[in-house]
Structure 1
Amino acid sequence: MRCIARYSYSETTIDRICAEAKVSRGLINHHFQSKDELMAQTYKRLAADLLDVSRAAAANATGPEDKLDAIIRVCFAAPVFAPKNVKVWLGFWSVAHSDPVIRKAHKELYAGYRQALKKLFDQIAEVRGGTVDSDLAALTLTAVIDGFWLELARDPTSFTAEDALASCLRVVDTFLPPPKTARKRA
């Protein structure tokens, strides 16, 4: 991941990975049949790490609204929301359309993530006594989060993490029925 952050996805080579990791080419060749396989495993590891952070944040929250808030907050908090992570993530996005292994992993990751968000939207609507188009809400929220990650790569001075968080929370509120009682976000 350090090589992708430093050199970009396309400029990351096995030699650069060996130098960065201080390992021999033979060791990498022993564990991976190709650079593509190594990169696919790296993508899966990055995705798993990011999901673990989201799960941990949600696990410490009570109720579906607090869980959704926690997941959104972690997307824009250190160490997750950092230029290095964004560069690596964008490197993988850039090849997801052409690399079938990355595309499959990406599709599975996003389907699972959106499904988890959908479930939380449904639970919140139920608690509030209303309905929600949870598929569209989850898709939109994911797109807004991804948009801020893209913007961080393009111009990290154009917004703050607090701006991104506030925007996402507003998006969430536009999809949900009104609460039964006024709720103040933490």
Structure 2
Amino acid sequence: MSESVIADRGPDGDRKGRKASREVRRQQLVDATIDSLARRGYAETTLADVADGAGLSRGIVNFHFESKEKLLVATLQFMAEEYAAHWRGALDKAGDDPASQLWALCAADFDRAICNKRKLAAWCAFWGEAKSRPTYQALCGGRDQAYHDVMVDVCTRLKAEGRYPIDPQASALAINALLEGLWLRLMLAADEVSRDTAFASAAELLAALFPRHFVRGTGGTITKA
């Protein structure tokens, strides 16, 4: 039996092995697409670039995705699902306290696994195309709304706890907008802004909105009370 056939076999037979192999190949191609978007941008990324980056034949790219557009949609879907799983995981670990939840949500946005030059550049490439591509808007719209709804709920509970004179909807929108803007700053001015300084900027807004829950320490650093 050839080495390639052995590699495709799984413990439950050929079918499971081939399925695993297909998933591995698809993920290789998605990862290579992210790399290409980061290096070349949206317009200059080609199926040939992706195949070369993944170390696979161009025929394999066509077999799995058929077109550049289908490959890009799959890549955006992967990134959106990865981001959603990341912030939901951070939220779950924070427990039921709204201040801990808000702190965890903001901190999660600057975790290296999600916030790095490679992925930020890929996100920017997709953002530049989203206005003219309804598929991209539809793919991320539901997940963006879920994130916003969670942020509104957290702000609403913090308002009740601290009796703050704030509008939870507007506050949630302001926090989301700041986080998105900080991602853009990290992409465009990486030498001036780091993940740590970006998170510190987000913490400043939290302290301004909810001063009894987020306070400035003796060293000037904002912390959760």
The TM-score bracket by the shorter chain reads 0.7 to 0.9
What number of residue pairs does the alignment pair up?
A: 185
Deviation at 1:66, TM superposition (A): 0.5
- SS of the residue 1:60 aligns to: helix
From 14, 25, 48, give the equivalent of 1:15. 48
- Name the stretch that deviates more: 122-131 or 70-79: 122-131
CA contact (8 A) 1:118 1:138 kept: yes
* Residue matched to 2:90: 57
Report 1 or 2 for greater relative contact order, CA contacts < 8 Å, sequence distance ≥ 6.
Answer: 1
Distance in 1 between the 2:193 and 2:110 partners? 11
Deviation at 1:70, TM superposition (A): 0.9
From 125, 139, 152, give the equivalent of 2:173. 139
CA contact (8 A) 1:4 1:12 kept: yes
CA contact (8 A) 2:36 2:50 kept: yes
1:4 aligns with 2:37: yes
CA contact (8 A) 2:214 2:224 kept: no
From 155, 160, 168, give the equivalent of 2:202. 168
- Name the stretch that deviates more: 105-114 or 12-21: 105-114
1:43 aligns with 2:76: yes
- The 1:33–1:138 alpha-carbon spacing in structure 2 relative to 1, beyond 3 Å, is farther
- SS of the residue 1:136 aligns to: helix
What are the superposed Cα offsets for residues 126-164 of structure 1, whole Å, 9 maximum, x if unpaired? 333456422211211111111111111211121232221
* Residue matched to 1:185: 224
- Name the stretch that deviates more: 125-134 or 11-20: 125-134
Distance in 2 between the 1:87 and 1:159 partners? 15
Q: How does 1:103-182 map to 2 (within 5 A)?
A: 103-130=137-164, 132-176=166-210, 179=212
Task: Calculate percent identity across the aligned residue pairs.
Answer: 25
CA contact (8 A) 1:73 1:165 kept: yes
* Residue matched to 2:67: 34
CA contact (8 A) 1:43 1:92 kept: yes
What are the superposed Cα offsets for residues 43-62 of structure 1, whole Å, 9 maximum, x if unpaired? 11111112212122222113
Runs of 5+ consecutive residues of structure 2 not aligned to the other structure: 1-33, 217-222
- The 1:175–1:29 alpha-carbon spacing in structure 2 relative to 1, beyond 3 Å, is same
1:67 aligns with 2:101: yes
* Residue matched to 2:117: 83
Distance in 1 between the 2:77 and 2:215 partners? 40
Provide the alpha-carbon RMSD of the alignment: 2.3
- The 1:162–1:181 alpha-carbon spacing in structure 2 relative to 1, beyond 3 Å, is closer
- SS of the residue 2:224 aligns to: coil
Larger radius of gyration: 2
Q: Which amino acid aligns with 1:59?
A: D
CA contact (8 A) 1:133 1:175 kept: no
Name the TM-score, length of structure 1 as normaliser.
0.87
From 96, 106, 113, give the equivalent of 2:130. 96
CA contact (8 A) 1:58 1:67 kept: yes
Deviation at 1:179, TM superposition (A): 3.3
Deviation at 1:32, TM superposition (A): 2.4
